[in-house]
Amino acid sequence: MGEFKFITTSSPHIHSGESVQKIMFNVAGALLLPTAAGIYFFGMRALVLVIITTLAAVLTEAIFQKLRGKPITVWDGSAMVTGILLALNLPPGLPLWMAVVGAAIAISLGKQVYGGLGMNPFNPALIGRVFLMITFPVQMTTWINPVDGTTGATPLQIMKMQGVSTDYVKLFLGNIGGSLGETSALMIILGGLYLLYKGYIEWRIPGFYLGAVAILSVILGRDPIFELLSGGLMLGAFFMATDMVTSPISRLGKIIFGIGAGIFTVIIRFYGGYPEGVSFSILLMNAFTPVINRYTVPRIYGEVKVR
Amino acid sequence: MLKTFRGGIHPPYNKDFTKHKPVERAKLPDRVIIPMSQHVGAPCEPIVKVGDLVKKGQKIGEAKAFVSAPIHASISGKVTAVEPKPHPGGGMVMSVVIESDGKDELFEGIKTPKPLAELTPDEIKNLIRESGIVGMGGAGFPTQVKLSPPPGKTIDTIIVNGAECEPYLTADHRLMVERPDDVVLGLEAIMKATGVKNGYIAIEENKPDAIEAIRKAIQAKDGIELVELATKYPQGGEKQLINAVTGREVPSGGLPMDVHVIVDNAGTCAAIANAIKTGMPLVERITTVTGTGVNEPKNLLIRVGTPFSEIIEQCGGFKGEVGKVIMGGPMMGLAQSVLDVPAVKGTSGILVLAKNDVNLSEQSPCIRCARCVDACPIHLLPTTLGKFAERGMWTEAEEYHALDCIECGCCAYVCAAHIPLTQLIRLAKNHIVASKKK
């Protein structure tokens, strides 16, 4: 038996088989549901937008890593997820070159300048989106109506300007104007439930985010169902606030993060200049994440009251 | 309601290799290598020299310190070497090598003690000490020391650990199925030695036959209760077990006796029972030889000191390309580099993993998925501790309770980025402890 050479790495000797790549591809898979809704309501243009944005994101990551002399890790799927997420947050009619710029900014300024995967403080897709909103405000707020392809206002804009609500069923199914992937609450929830079931997101952030928005809406005399179903809230709560890299790690931290994002969203929607505030809310809470992590260190087993 | 703790993981248990296989007596080894340190505490001093003839059960290592346990010959034969030899726990340890005379003769000094009912607590403790009994779950803490708490510490509960939460291992499982009365007798002896009226035998619910056997064995016994535990790793961790059974938490840096509890492994109880029934010291134990890299997995009753190579040979030898040979289970066991190390008192299993089963995935960046946070049974932040360790931030690691880590391996098992978190935290612990000694 002497000829064997044994591996002698330290315990544990087995692994769950989980990997970053598996997580990213599952998230991407779940994102196909709202993507499909976008294609259904806005046509092939939406599909092209998603593909172009995703390719741009992946390519930017590869170029950046090449320039920095780092190993190219685009197969981990994280740039793909950022690309799809960004596309889902764009108006379906946005000029493609603008989407490409957004994707390049998302990956370069949102992720790679910080050192790449795992190091970025802010959700890269949201960095890309906010950059586009500031740079191309007109194109970023030109919404297509699903029915006739004409341009029009989103339900949140109609609510803000005229105080008129939109039919719940339409909001739920997605037959409304808005960003590519945020129209169908149904598909977003299905995708979110899939990720919850697989354990790739955990319930506290979306749960407390949506809960905070609903409760504050009731308190402030708004229609909570309308607020939950319209705008980017569902997409943000399930797919962007839950971004692992930029949200807290402790259970309590996740609760605080969710509630905080809910409060900011309500403040911006009800009292701010923009009709929608999900992107800004999540980015604001991203900024708070390190502080939240610092102050929500769990009580450990056997820890007697310290100080 | 099954009792359990918060955190932990559900790895594949892989106990089917051996859980239905009755314990087989291993053949008498030609040669045993008996290390003078098979326990936590001071190593023993060898009291035999090369050329001496020894018999089975004869003391060959004297324990001089309080925290120590004497060591006995496990076969009869001639001492051929007293020198440092590789130890399965790592490094070289002074060992006594005995060449078998094939007779397996019993030492004349071995006498059957009085029955338990006639033994005084001090006699029981003395018997346990002189029999060299140590914790057989792997840690190897001298049992008698546990039973002698310092003044001011009171004990009100004894828990027998029959959780056996490590995947693959079935030694305790088979013991409880085949010799439940010994486990109970051992517990009764501990209860009598400590004057405690509350005894629990705690078993994970994935061992229904063991639960049934123990239930029958304790039917007519007062003060002994069976506790069914949820199947979850590390349910058999001392702290997790105490929490599940009593709801108490061992304070950080403290011992079970700080919450008035003593935990002893089922195998330890059986060793005590054996000493009471026959006067035999601890010279053999059940070891599960298992895994995807061994031809005939078995539960073997082996003599302490039998080389791994001989044990594996008795199980049909290696199968296919072997990746790792591990003493213990896959979560906390120690990977071996050579096969001429001996099985010791704490060798609950020898696990041979085929090359394909060894995780050698490349590390990727941490994406803060917090799986480790959810899995940690101590409720630490393994990802944060890992980052501190990578940067050599030992003070911060200590502030984040690195020293409370029980090294169960859950964090590294679940890590999506394949970061060796357990190893990193171990590194931090070593640095913190070393800096305290200065």
- Domains annotated on chain A, with CATH: 20-294 (1.10.3430)
- Kindly report, residue by residue over B30-66, the tens digit of the pLDDT: 999 999 999 989 999 999 999 999 999 999 999 999 9
Binding site annotation covers B410?
no
Report chain B residues whose CB lies below 8 A from the CB of A297: 381, 400
What pLDDT band is residue B343 in, cutting at 50, 70 and 90? very high
What rounded mean pLDDT belongs to chain B?
A: 95
State the average pLDDT over residues A187-201: 95
**Residue B371: its chain A contacts at CB < 8 A?**
18
Query: Do residues B396 and B343 touch, judged by C-beta distance below 8 A?
Result: no
Q: Which residues pair with B298 in a beta bridge?
A: B289
Mutate to test the interface with A, among B249, B413, B414 (most CBs of A within 10 A): B413
Of A20, A118, A244, the CB nearest to B370: A244
Q: Give A2's DSSP letter.
A: T
* Contact: B367, A249; criterion CB under 8 Å: no
Q: Quote the DSSP letter at residue A214.
A: H
Q: What is the reported pLDDT for B136? A: 92
β-pairing verdict for B298-303 and A151-152: unpaired
Contact B416 A20 (CB under 8 A): yes
| B314 has a pLDDT exceeding 60 | yes
Give the model's pLDDT for residue B377: 96
Give the tens place of pLDDT for each residue, A40-60: 999 999 999 999 999 999 999
Pick the closest to residue A222 from A190, A277, A269 (CA basis): A269
Q: Which chain B residue shows the shortest CA-CA distance from A15?
A: B413
A118:B367 CB<8 A: yes
For residue B409, name the pLDDT band (cuts at 50, 70, 90).
very high
Does A301 contact B335 at a Cβ distance shorter than 8 Å?
no
What pLDDT sits at residue A147? 67
pTM of the model as a whole: 0.93
Q: Which domains does chain B have, with CATH numbers?
A: 116-278 (3.40.50.11540), 371-437 (no CATH)
Mean pLDDT for the stretch of residues B191-212: 96
Please judge whether A8 and B336 are an interchain contact, meaning their C-beta atoms are less than 8 angstroms apart: yes
Cβ of B414 and A11 within 8 Å? no
Mean per-residue pLDDT, A146-167:
78
Contact B413 A244 (CB under 8 A): no
DSSP state of B206: T
Q: What integer pLDDT is reported at residue A307 of this predicted model?
A: 35
Strand duo B349-354 + B284-290: pairing: parallel
Cβ contacts below 8 Å, chain A against chain B, sum to 172
User: What distance in Å separates the CA atoms of residue B229 and residue B138, rounded to the nearest whole number?
Assistant: 20
Kindly state the helix (H) or strand (E) to which residue A175 belongs, with its residue range. Answer: none
Residue of B11, B239, B364 lying closest to A20 (CB–CB):
B364
What are the chain A neighbours of B332 within 8 Å (beta carbons)?
A: 11-12
Range list of H helices, chain A: 20-42, 44-67, 78-88, 96-108, 124-135, 155-162, 168-173, 185-198, 204-219, 224-229, 233-235, 251-271, 278-295
Confirm whether residue B44 is marked as ligand binding. no
- Chain A residues within 8 A of B366 when measuring between CB atoms: 118
Q: What mean pLDDT is reported for chain A? A: 92
As a whole number, mean pLDDT of residues A13-42 equals 94
Which chain A residue has its CA at the smallest distance from B254's CA? A302
Contact B365 A116 (CB under 8 A): yes
What is the rounded CA–CA span in Å between residue B193 and residue B223?
A: 15
A261-277 confidence digits (pLDDT tens)? 999 999 999 998 888 88
Query: Chain B contacts of A245, Cβ < 8 Å?
Result: 367-368
| Cross-strand pairs, B353 | B324
Concatenating the DSSP letter of every residue in B230-284 gives ---BTTTSHHHHHHHHH---PPTT--GGGGTEEEEEHHHHHHHHHHHHH---S-E
Please tell me the distance from the alpha carbon of residue B149 to that of residue A307, in angstroms, as a whole number.
29
Q: Is position B405 annotated in a ligand binding site? A: yes
| For residue B234, cis peptide bond before it (omega within 30 degrees of 0) | yes
d(CA B107, CA B113) in angstroms, rounded, equals 15
Q: What is the pLDDT of residue A163?
A: 77
Question: Cβ separation of B325 and A244 shorter than 8 Å?
Answer: no
CB neighbour list of residue A70: distance below 8 Å, 6 or more residues apart: A116
Residue A229 structure tokens: 């179903």
DSSP one-letter string for A255-278: HHHHHHHHHHHHHHHHHSSSS--H
> Across residues A270-298, what is the average pLDDT?
93
Q: Which of the residues A5, A15, A203 would you substitute to probe the B interface, choosing the one with the greatest number of B C-beta atoms within 10 Å? A: A15
CA B3/CA A137 separation, integer angstroms: 58
Backbone angles phi, psi at A192, to 5 degrees: -65, -40
Tens-place pLDDT, residues B114-124: 999 999 999 99
Do the chains contact at B366 and A301, CB–CB below 8 Å?
A: no
pLDDT of B257 over the 90 cut: yes
Query: pLDDT at position A1, please?
Result: 46
Residue A231 and residue A154 in contact, taking contact as beta carbons nearer than 8 Å: yes
